[in-house]
Amino acid sequence: MENVKRLYIFLTSAVSLNVVTWAVITLLRQLFFPGIDRDASSFALQIAIIVIGLPVFVFHWRWAQRLAAENKEERGALLRALYLYAVLAGLLGPIFANLYSLLADGVFDGSARAIGTAVVAMLILGALAEYHRRTIKADSDALGQLPSPVIRRLYHLGFSAAGLIIAGTAAGGLLRFLMIESGLAGETAQHLFLPNTRIAEVGVRLGVGLLIWLLFWPRLQGFFEESSEEKAALERKIYLYLVLLITTIGTISQLTALFAGLLRRLLGLSPRGSLSDVVPALVVLAVLWAYHAYVLNNVDAEHESGETGGVRRLYLYLVAGVGLAAFLIGLAGLLGVLVNAISGAEQFGAGLKEQLAMSVAALVAGLPTWLLPWRSAQAEQAAETTGATVRRSLARRIYLYFFLFVGVMTVLGSLISIVYEILLLVFGERGGGLLLRDISLAIGYAIIAAGVLVYHSRILRADERKAGEEKAARLGALNLLVLDSGDGSLGVALAEALKHEFNGLKPVALGLNPAAQDALGGQPKEGDAAALIKDAGLLIGTWDAMQNKAVQQSAARKLVLPIPAEGMDWAGQEARDQKAWVRLTVNAVKQILAGEEVAWKRPMGLAGYAWIAIGLLVLFSIVMSLIDSLSYRF
């Protein structure tokens, strides 16, 4: 109920503040600067918005502030923090846009109107932004901590990314202009990076982009250095690796285009574009990649945790996947050129030369892009400290199974094509060079796909073999003891389930009271029971069973089942029957044997599987679009 009320208050406040703010800005511009529409209907509309909207905002915002004053926890509410940071972002964005207009249109054009309209907007938006910034600070001071560190991180990362994009594109434009002016671009360069745009405007865009980035990214770095919570934050790692991924893919595309252009010249084809199309983008991408790689390798490396390590692995496998896809596309294209030329199905003219240039370029660009991250991933999985974690990581398994799928589908399609061509030959429908070409291509594609299939199958089998060996070693060293302080039925069920699930495991069930002892077929002597508990490597039982003196003195790892007892309940636990507890315990033992952290995972429903299917389809479409982009000239 409270969240519904907050949503209503803050949504109404945000909408009313936005419309009133821009009504005030528009009205002041109409009053003080000539040339702007001043008809009566426009005046009436702005005044009406202010007269009606302002009281609505004031009422709801005072309501929100009163709730925050009465209840300290209200200041830490997620929706309040989301409102404050969203409104602050919505105010700062237009401030930077008007700063650009002020410099580009006002200063360089000398337009008093452009300067005035920009200044009016910046003053009003700046005052409101400062008020909301102080409100955020007041909430933080009252709570003694940030209301929502995640929202603050996303706020700073969003502006950092915006500044990076604006500055990066503008820097590329300036570099291209310099190449054109210096004559390095070649004869085909006839226009600037941004058509119909003056170089001064590109310079202003660069300055504004750098300003945005410098206002937000260093502050985020400061948060990182001051707080252990920020060091463990996942959002910052995702941002850094996303920048690396985008710049890596962009670099591959540009290098492919550059090398293809050089090969096209060597093959006597007419050039396309010029160096100014590629070199500025390469320089900007390389600088961005180098800086963010430095931050990750020299600043963040010592603070890497399990979750952030997973983000790094995802980056490695995505880059390796794109590189391998580019290499395979180039190899397949090269095969097509050779088959067409040798079979005589097509003359070695402009078409085949164009395909040869693009294929060799993709092959040369893709091979190192695959090898470097793949060797890094393989070295990580071979290390004793990280090997087990890497081998069972989701990113690695998706990568391996994805290329297994691609290999199997390609072999399947190639074999179908071969049989199809042979049947057409039998039926007298095909013959000659075209038949030889099509069958040769199908066989070549099948061989390439079979190589991919065999290599990744061997890697996958090696991973599974090592995982099996590690599990067997843990299983052999695991002296498991099931403790039962109830009627014995839980001990019997657990021991049977564990024996059934794990071959070679010999769990012992120990009753801690007469009823359990009878159900378990007797009880060893007291000294023998104490020895069993002392020698155990893993003790499993309810909270009651763990209160046994010998159990408490044991150094063994303890797996506690939060089963309610008479007069005692567990907060946050659902009611389950004995079969469910047995199943959850078996899963926990699996996690222990795999070297994972013991964590209960809610069984996935139909909606969960549907979202996974949608996610896989989206991922597949993204990967395929990236692969397709490597086949074309940028």
User: Encoding tokens for residue 116?
Assistant: 């005035």
**CA separation for the pair 461, 57 (Å, rounded):** 63
Q: Is residue 624 part of a domain?
A: no
| CATH code of the domain containing 502 | 3.40.50.2300
462 and 492 part of one domain: no
439 and 519 part of one domain: no
Last residue of a domain, one of 208, 238, 263: 263
Q: Is residue 251 part of a domain?
A: yes
Residues 159-181 have a mean pLDDT of: 87
Q: Is residue 288 part of a domain?
A: no
Instruction: Classify each residue of 79-106 as buried b or exposed e, where b means 16 or more C-beta atoms within 10 Å of its C-beta.
Output: bbbbbbbebbbbbbebbbebbbbbbbbb
Q: Is the pLDDT of residue 629 over 50?
A: no
Give how many domains the chain has, as a whole number. Answer: 3
166 and 91 part of one domain: yes
**CA separation for the pair 174, 199 (Å, rounded):** 7
User: In angstroms, how far is CA 612 from the centroid of its own chain?
Assistant: 15
The confidence band for 123, taking pLDDT boundaries of 50, 70 and 90, is very high
Contact 316, 377 (CB under 8 A): yes
Contact 175, 284 (CB under 8 A): yes
Residue 629: which of 204, 118, 144, 253 has the closest Cα? 253
27 and 47 part of one domain: yes
User: Encoding tokens for residue 291?
Assistant: 């800086």
**CA separation for the pair 478, 277 (Å, rounded):** 63
User: Encoding tokens for residue 194?
Assistant: 């941004």
User: Encoding tokens for residue 122?
Assistant: 């910046």
**CA separation for the pair 231, 140 (Å, rounded):** 20
Question: Which residue do the tokens 């923090």 mark?
Answer: 81
**H helical segments located in 144-198:** 149-182
For 374-420, give the DSSP string: HHHHHHHHHSTTTHHHHHT-HHHHHHHHHHHHHHHHHHHHHHHHHHH
Residue 179: which of 24, 171, 27 has the closest Cα? 171
239 and 313 part of one domain: no
Q: Which residues contact 590 (CB under 8 A, 6 or more apart)?
A: 501
Q: Which residues contact 299 (CB under 8 A, 6 or more apart)?
A: 221, 224
Contact 177, 199 (CB under 8 A): yes
User: Encoding tokens for residue 124?
Assistant: 């009003």
Q: Is residue 23 part of a domain?
A: yes
Q: Is the pLDDT of residue 195 over 50?
A: no
144 and 241 part of one domain: yes
Q: Which residues contact 138 (CB under 8 A, 6 or more apart)?
A: none
Last residue of a domain, one of 206, 239, 263: 263
**CA separation for the pair 268, 256 (Å, rounded):** 18
325 and 313 part of one domain: yes
Q: Indicate the DSSP class of residue 565.
A: B
Residue 148 vs residue 623, higher pLDDT: 148
Residue 514 vs residue 183, higher pLDDT: 514
Residues 241-270 have a mean pLDDT of: 83
Largest CA distance in the chain: 102
Mean pLDDT of the chain: 80
401 and 381 part of one domain: yes
Q: Is residue 278 part of a domain?
A: no
Q: Is residue 291 part of a domain?
A: no
Specify the 3-state DSSP secondary structure of 242. helix
Residue 610 vs residue 255, higher pLDDT: 255
Q: Flag the least confident range among 28-32, 178-182, 211-215.
A: 178-182
468 and 484 part of one domain: no
User: Encoding tokens for residue 594?
Assistant: 């795999």
Neighbours of 276 (CB within 10 A): 24
**CA separation for the pair 559, 551 (Å, rounded):** 12
Give tens-digit pLDDT for 523-581. 665 557 777 777 777 888 887 778 777 878 787 888 888 877 766 777 766 667 778 88
Specify the 3-state DSSP secondary structure of 124. helix
Q: Is residue 634 part of a domain?
A: no
257 and 347 part of one domain: no
252 and 139 part of one domain: yes
Q: Indicate the DSSP class of residue 105.
A: I
Domain limits at 495? 479-593
Last residue of a domain, one of 475, 495, 516: 475
440 and 513 part of one domain: no
Q: Is residue 615 part of a domain?
A: no
The confidence band for 330, taking pLDDT boundaries of 50, 70 and 90, is confident
**H helical segments located in 191-305:** 199-226, 228-231, 234-266, 279-294
Give the containing element (helix H, strand E) for 540.
strand 538-542
Per-residue pLDDT at 163: 92
Instruction: Please report, rounded to a whole number, the percentage of residues in the chain having pLDDT higher than 70.
Output: 80
Contact 516, 487 (CB under 8 A): yes
- Which of the given ranges, 66-75, 109-118, 119-128, has the highest pLDDT on average? 119-128
Residue 204: which of 118, 113, 86, 91 has the closest Cα? 118
